[in-house]
Homo-oligomer: A and B are copies of this chain.
Amino acid sequence: MEPYLFTATECLEKFKDGSLTVEAYARSLLARIDQRDSAVKAWAHLDPEYVIEQARALDRIPPEKRGPLHGVSVAVKDIMHTKRMPTQHNSPIYQGDAPEIDAGSVTILKRAGALLIGKSTTTQFASPKDGPPTCNPNDLSRTPGGSSSGSAAAVADFQVAIGLGTQTGGSTIRPGSFNGIYAMKPTWNAITQQGHKTYSLTLDTIGFFARSVDDLELLAKIFALEDDAPREAETAVAIQGAKFAFVRTVVWPEAGPGTLAAMDTAERLLREHGAEVEVVNLPPEFDEMPRWHRIIMDTEARSAFLPEYRISKEQLQPFITDHVENSTKVSREEQLEAFDGVAALRPKFDKIASKYTAIITPSAIDEAPLGQKFTGSAAFNVIWTALHTPVVNVPGFKGENGMPVGLSLVAGRYHDRHLLTVAKEVGKVFESQGGWKRYCHA
């Protein structure tokens, strides 16, 4: 098997048993990227020499001193600072900008031994508008989603094992669904956002892409995601006897046929495997969540982008200048109503979530839309982003055009490790019986 096909967990085994060097792995990935980049266009910056340099340095580390992510390949979304690589935010303002500083998340990965492959494409400053030219590896005529377009596409296309993204609306979970890979948005602020470009302090959350739950668990350990009951969290959760809430939020009418079919199939499969399934509607007070999310995003971006606005407002997307100019005329009173309203619902949702093994809900409206400009709707994601809950996209289903469709597993805040143990078991069922199979496109 070509090394580029390995998940992070598989790589680590090969590096450990000596059957693979990091340099050989890096060269395999670079060859894969070379073969596919003109089609998928996942990279904003990639310097093969820097990759090989890192790989050789990693190979020189004696086995007993190697980190828990030794040699594992990572794509870094281009709104996160990295030494030795520019950070350009898909913005002309930062064209060629390369400050010698690592984001906190990048520092943690490097200290764990990660092999940084390059900077992956993003919409401008991770906004919901105007996707980069990146294509969905499952169908090049479609978007991989956004704003973490490149990281999701690169992981789905076997160009890299792990992708770093962020989510302010649905920028991690939605691309996970569109590309047929696992994606995780941990509890808000469980991982530092230091060195990521801020969009909305209350909403911005780091995100991960991988092709297995084992890989996500590896990241969870490295980033010290810790639940209150670690022993329980580390115990496998059986589907038999588990209790799932299928949650239809206020945006349920937006679900397309692919998502509706996935929800139906998932419900049937989990029942067949012995789980209890309940269709649950959130109380009506949660219906304000999408509107409140939008207000929080708009108003927090107002201060977040003032520096770039002062540098050169002409070089910003209108969507971003609108934030700074408060073009929707949101008053401070409305801003605080949204901020406090969401805050009051967080513990209420946690309480609901505590009654179930996990919540299951759509990851996207449907399959990835056609084209690159529109990166898809975040309607099914924004509620969980604002509630600060961990979310894992589990792939396995198929839409009307044969494209992947995933579903979101959600738990209460700081149940990240628990959620991963659930995702592992649910993933086995969805991936084997959901109807869609991951495929390495040539």
A314 lies within 8 A of chain B by Cβ: no
Residue A265, interface by CB 8 Å: no
Report yes or no: A414 in contact with B335, Cβ–Cβ below 8 A: yes
Q: Which residues of B contact A111 (CB under 8 A)?
A: 307, 310-311
Q: Interface digits, A89-116 against B, CB 8 Å rule (1 contact, 0 not)?
A: 0000000000111101101100110000
Say yes or no for A201: interface residue by CB 8 A criterion.
yes
Q: What is the CA–CA distance of A59 and B331 in the complex, to the nearest angstrom?
A: 39
B-facing mask of A370-411, CB < 8 A → 1, else 0? 000000000000000000000000000000000000000000
Q: How large is the interface on A (under 10, 10 to 19, 20 to 34, 35 or more residues)?
A: 35 or more
Known: A100-B100, A224-B303, A414-B332. A310 touches B108 (CB 8 A): yes
Q: Which residues of B contact A304 (CB under 8 A)?
A: 104, 192, 194
**A193 near B: Cβ within 8 Å?**
yes
Instruction: Count this chain's copies in the assembly.
Output: 2
Q: Which of A325-381 contact B (CB under 8 A)?
A: 331-333, 335-336, 340, 343-344, 346-347, 350
CB distance from A333 to the nearest CB of B (A): 6
Q: Closest chain B residue to A87 by CB distance?
A: B101
Partner of A307, one of B194, B331, B335, B350: B194
Which of A111, A189, A193, A302 has the most CB atoms of chain B within a 10 A radius of its CB? A189
- Knowing A107-B311, A303-B191, say if A340 contacts B347 (CB, 8 Å): yes
Name 14 interchain pairs, CB-CB below 8 A, sorted by A: A99-B100, A101-B101, A107-B311, A108-B310, A111-B310, A111-B311, A189-B201, A193-B201, A194-B304, A201-B201, A227-B332, A228-B333, A336-B414, A343-B346
Question: Footprint of B on A, CB under 8 Å?
Answer: 81, 99-102, 104-105, 107-108, 111-112, 189-194, 197-198, 201-202, 223-224, 226-228, 300, 302-304, 306-307, 310-311, 331-333, 335-336, 340, 343-344, 346-347, 350, 413-414
